[in-house]
Structure formats: structure tokens, C-alpha cells
Amino acid sequence: MIFFGYIDPGTGFTVLGLGGGLVALLAGFFGFFVLFFKRIFSFFKKHGKAIALIAVILGVAGLAITGALMSRKGSSFDKKIIILGFDGLSPKILEPMMQNGLLPNFSRLKEHGSYRRLSTTNPPQSPVAWTGFATGQNPGKTGIFDFIVRNPKTYDLSLSLSRIEKGKPQRVMKSTCLWQYTSLKKIPTVIITCPVTFPPDKIYGRMLSGMGVPDILGTEGTFTFYTTEKLNKEKDIGGKVFPVRKSSVMVLDFIGPKIAKGAGEAKNAKVPFKVTRGKDKKSVIIEYRDNKFELPLGQWSRWKEVTFKLGLFRKARGIFKFYLVETEPEFKLYISPINFDPRDPFFDISYPSGYAKELAGTIGLYYTRGMPMDTWAVNEKRLAEGPFIEEANEVLREKKAMLDLELRRFKKGLLFCYFESPDIIQHMFWRYTDPGHPLYEPDAPGKYKKTIADWYQKIDAILGEVMQGITEGDTLFVLSDHGFDTFRRTVHLNSWLRKNGYLELKNPKAESGSELLADIDWSKTRAYAIGFGAIYVNQKGREKDGIVNPGGATEALKGEISRKLQEWRDEKYAKQVVSKVYPREEIFWGKYAGEAPDLYTGFNIGYRASWQTAIGGVPRELMEDNLKKWSGSHLFNPNLIPGIIFSNKKLKENPSIYDITPTVLKMIGYDNEKIEELNLDGAPLF
């Protein structure tokens, strides 16, 4: 999983603010509506008896139809299928821990059922892999190829997790999901935060959206940080950092959605709040609207609420947390990304729409943002590891509470629950376990060195509780979407393309090119990279300013780039950077394969496409040591990082993540012929 704050400040949605102009317009039409309703009233007075008779007939018919619909029985399927998705669990860690008796519940499930390594998708990115899980189809059919996508007609970049058009979220997955198949058969279905489910699908049951739900700014997670410390020139990627003057009383702002008023530039809605420094310098008093509370140093606040006015009749309600990082010698205040309030979200984040509110009423307020943990605040040294782990523990507690609630009332059907925690913990703490990592600290606190192992044991404990409720007729699957390994070196693919003559900058003498492909000379560029390994040919007739002819010229170029990339060696460590380069035709097939990258880079362990590559930057260097705390990854050649799958039933050899959906379909009554007709890329596991 990749946590990416935003691509650019305009990535979020913008709300159209309506004010005085609308009031004047309404006043202008008021007279017309008065006259209209006067005539309607006169008509009803003359024909009252006939209208009343028609109303009675329609009412009786409506009741009859409603009764018929309500009397329709659900499916006769009376089994339980429980699927637990633990993002990023790796055989490399899990298998030795099982052998050493540290994961008793995983070991017991293997002994009484089965365990296999699970082949993942290509590329092995979380949104790609979980859509493969949910649909049984490859990216050429689902339309999800990478975290970052480009518009070939404009070269604009955007995130693939969600899309807002004309003020409404649009479904980005282009295939039918397993929960839609169960719903067609009226099998009770519960889906808890599966990635790429925003907006939620209408299902025969309940769904809470997961990865893809934005924060209140419309981004995947933008924190706010106020500090009296002098800021350096480096731009924060994941947050908005504001300098403040040191004072006993400071007036700051909560930052809300952008509001466009007329033809003017859109501006963020703001709500001011006052910070008064405590006498003992170990706390502050925060006041805004009807809220006043003390925030101690080094502690998370409880959930706080804020409402942004977006124009006439429109508002956005959010929830967030404070963390007071420091009071002396500098003042440093962190505000988490503002989540949609589940009791009244700006967009629907659940189906039925009231399910999110029901959960809040039962388990309390919870993170609604699809990527709930703020990894970028740690990367950029705004939060330390301690508070980050506290946040991760709270996210895990909330998810476990949701699962427990649904298990208590789960009688039959399909129940899926997704846990992102192991993936995120490994991203941020791998450097403590790898002596070869540039940020490895041999004298680091022991608690950080065993953080990853501790979290595997937490997951094992959750599994144990679920297994206690499993009966003989139930089916349990436990899986991860991919494995994990170390991320030591960051690779600038666009810089490599430039050095090898495939990409040119507008200024040939410039040391580097800025993000968003902004400085590229398209008239001289034959190939460019975005995302975490995707390479596109600047093809004539497809790209806005394409120069490479389709057909033979494109294929020859792809072959040349592939060969040279696979020959690339890291001079510093004398290692091969790229394991394999995959042409589009080898890994993508289906209706949307034409939108996929022309080449995809399968990196060797330790090497990964840089953050700058992801958003179209062209740095000076070809490769650098990874000096960010985000030190573990899964963006390697997928053959090198399989996931895992357990079941209380015997599984076939060499399973694939594409096999889950056809397995569920077979269990709920689809025969092999029908499954084949659905054009899936997997086969039943048993």
C-alpha cells in the first residue's frame, strides 16, 4: 500500500459556493411561484373527490407492491464465508515466526486446514491487488493499473483510487465484484473497508468504504502543522505547514475544502481557533466556537468536530485529532487530516448511507479516511514513531470493533474485513530490522526493532478470536495481497530515460525537471515514467504531442528500453536494479488493456521507483539512498514477494489472488460453466 498525500494542491475537490446572487434569483422567482400555487389550489378545490379516489387507488397499489417485494425470500444459502484481509503479511516473516511457535493461531489453522503462498498481481500494488481479489480479474479488465494515472490527451496526472466528477464521486473499478455476485443471489453480505470501494456499491447487506475515501480536502490525507520553528526550503508533500509567531495567545485556522465563488480563484474554507499556552508549559488551552479544552503535551486528543460552511445550505462536517508535539523551546502543534464525520459525511461512505452513522453510534467515532494512518507526518518528521504507533493501535482497535460487531450478528452469507495495519507498520519500521538499510540504527530502542513482529502477533490474536466462533460448516479464508521486503535505494526512472536519450527537458542544460511532467519537451521525448514502475511511449495519435509511430516503431522502442533497464547495475552496490521489464501484452489483457502502461518495471528487492518518478519528476541523480522512514516496500517484481493464504479447508497448490472470487462463486452455487462465462482470470481454490 502507498500513502500519498496529494499530487498537487488542486487534486482535491472544489465546492461551488452560492451566496447573495442566489438569494436575489430566488426573490425574483418568488412572485411566479405564488401565482403558480394559487392556480394549483383552485384546481384541487374543483376536482377534490376525483383526486382523492385516484390517491386511494394508488396507495393500495403501492402497499400491494411493497408487500410483494418484502415477501420475497432471500437465498437458501445458509453457510458462513468469512474472509480476513491482512494487507502485506509476508511469508518471509510469517513462516519463521510460525516455526518458532510465535504465531499459534496461524499454526493451528495451517495444521487443521491449509497454508499456501499466494501469487499476487502485476504490479503488486494494494489497489491493484485488492481489485484483483474482489473481481477475479487482471488490471486490463478492472481498469486499475497503478496508484497514479495519466490522461494521454493532456499529460495530466491523477490518483486512481477515487474520482469526483461534477461534485459526485464515481466508481473507478470497472468490473463486477464478488459482493455484487452474492447480492444478485440475495446472500447477506458485509464488506468492511475493502480498498477501492468509494463510493460504496449497493449490495444485499452492508458496506463501509475503504481506501479511496478522501479527507475533507478531497486528498488522500493532508495534515496541518503549526510551528514557531524556522522552516527549511523543502516542500512538505503530505501536509500543510504554517509558521506562527511565538506568543501566549495564538489564533490559528482549521483548513477546509476549497470554495469557488464565481470566476474568482477557489479558496479554502477556514474555521479559526485560539491556542493559549498553559502556565506550566506542559499543555495548551484550545478554544473554538463552543469548544474549550486542555491539550496536554505529548498526548493525542479525543476526536474533535468542526463544521465548514461552504455556501448557502451547504456545509461539511469533519472529525480530527490534535497532538501537541512541543511547547518549549518551540511551539509545534499537529492536526490530523480531517476525516468526514461518519454521522453526516459530505459524500456517502457506506451502504446503506446510514450504516456509517450506525457504526459510530455503536463503537464510537472512527477514522473514515480510506488511508487512516499519517505516514507522511512521520516521513517529514512532524510526528515521531511513538505517537504514530498509538495512532496505529487506535485504527486497529476501531477495525476490530467493527469486525466484532458484525460477527455477533452474522448468521449466514459473506463477511469480509480488511486490516491495513500490518502493511503500514512494515512500511515505516522495516529499517529497524535490516542492517543493510541506510537508516538502520544498531542501537535503536528494542521496542522499535520488534515492532513488526509484535504486530504479526496482534494479527494472530485477532485470528484466534475469530477462529473460536467458527463452526464445522463455516469457511474461513485469511490472506494478504502481497509480501514485503526492504527498500534501500530510490530509483528515478525519468532521469534514467533522460540519460539514455529517451526523454528531453525544455531546457537541455537544466539539472532537473519539476514534477507533474511540467518541464518535459514532448517534441523530443519518446518515453516517460509515472507511478511506481509504469513507462509510457509518447505515441503519435494517442498522447497529445506523441512522436513515436504506433506499431513497429513503438514495439522496437519498448524492446530497447526493456533490454537496457535489465542491464542496469547499481555501481554503488554492484547489484542489478531491475529484475524484469514486462511489456503490456504480457501482464494486461481485457477491455481496458489499451489504457495500461506500455512497460512495467519489476524491480529487484531493495530498489523501488522514487516518489519523484511517481508524480512525473526528473531529478538530477539516477539513484539515491532511501533516507525516508518509509523503508519497507512491496513494489518489486511480483514473483519476489508473494502473499499468503490460509483456510480451514484444503487448498490447491500454487493459488493466485485471482482465485478468491471464483471460489466464492462456486460456494454460493455457480457451476464451472457459469464461472467460465464470467471471463475471470482465476479458478476455484478447491
**Residue 554: which region, alpha, beta or left (left: phi > 0; alpha: psi -120 to 50)?**
alpha
Residue 24: pLDDT above 60?
A: no
Q: What is the pLDDT of residue 272?
A: 98
DSSP 180: H
pLDDT of residue 281: 87
Mean pLDDT across the stretch 447-471?
98
Q: According to the model, what pLDDT value does residue 51 have?
A: 52
Average confidence (pLDDT) over 330-339? 98
- Model confidence at 435: pLDDT above 50: yes
Nearest one of 300, 337, 338 to 317, comparing CA atoms: 338
CA distance readout (Å), 535 to 200, 464, 501, 620: 31, 43, 14, 19
pLDDT at 580: 98
Q: pLDDT tens for residues 345-378?
A: 999 999 999 999 999 999 999 999 999 999 999 9
pLDDT the model gives residue 500: 98
Task: Say yes or no to pLDDT of 12 above 80.
Answer: no
Query: Residue 59: its pLDDT value, please?
Result: 42
Can you read off the three cell numbers belonging to residue 375? 505516514
| Model pLDDT for residues 570-602, shown as the tens digit of each residue | 999 999 999 999 999 999 999 999 999 999 999
Of 96-110, 204-218, 230-244, least confident by mean pLDDT is 230-244
Q: How far apart are CA 530 and CA 146, in angstroms?
A: 9
How sure is the predictor about 264, in pLDDT bands with cuts at 50, 70 and 90?
confident
User: What pLDDT digit, counting tens, does each position of 147-175 carry?
Assistant: 999 999 999 999 999 999 988 999 999 99
Give the pLDDT mean for 202-213: 98
φ, ψ dihedrals at 509, nearest 5°: -90, -5
pLDDT digits (tens, 9 = 90+) for 594-636: 999 999 999 999 999 999 999 999 999 999 999 999 999 999 9
Taking residues 242-264, what's their average pLDDT?
92
Position 569 scores a pLDDT of: 98
- One-letter amino acid of 62: G
Instruction: From 290, 277, 287, 281, select the one nearest 244 (Cα to Cα).
Output: 277
What's the average model confidence in pLDDT over 30-46? 46
**pLDDT value, residue 11:** 52
Mean pLDDT of 481-499: 98
For residue 585, give Cα distances in angstroms to 146, 433, 547, 597.
16, 38, 21, 10
Share of the chain above pLDDT 70, in %: 90
**Domains identified in the chain and CATH numbers:** 1-72+219-345 (no CATH), 80-146+155-213+370-484+641-686 (3.40.720.10), 488-633 (no CATH)
3-state secondary structure of 500: coil
Question: In the numeric block, which cell numbers belong to residue 149?
Answer: 494515472
Helices (H), 338-441: 355-363, 375-379, 385-408, 421-429
pLDDT > 90 in the chain, percent: 85
Q: Residue 634 has what pLDDT?
A: 98
Angle at 142 between CA 598 and CA 642, to 5 degrees: 80
Q: What is the mean predicted confidence (pLDDT) over 103-132?
A: 98
Q: Which three cell numbers stand for residue 600?
A: 512495467
Question: How does residue 48 score in pLDDT terms, banded at 50, 70 and 90?
Answer: low
Q: Check residue 65 and give its pLDDT.
A: 39
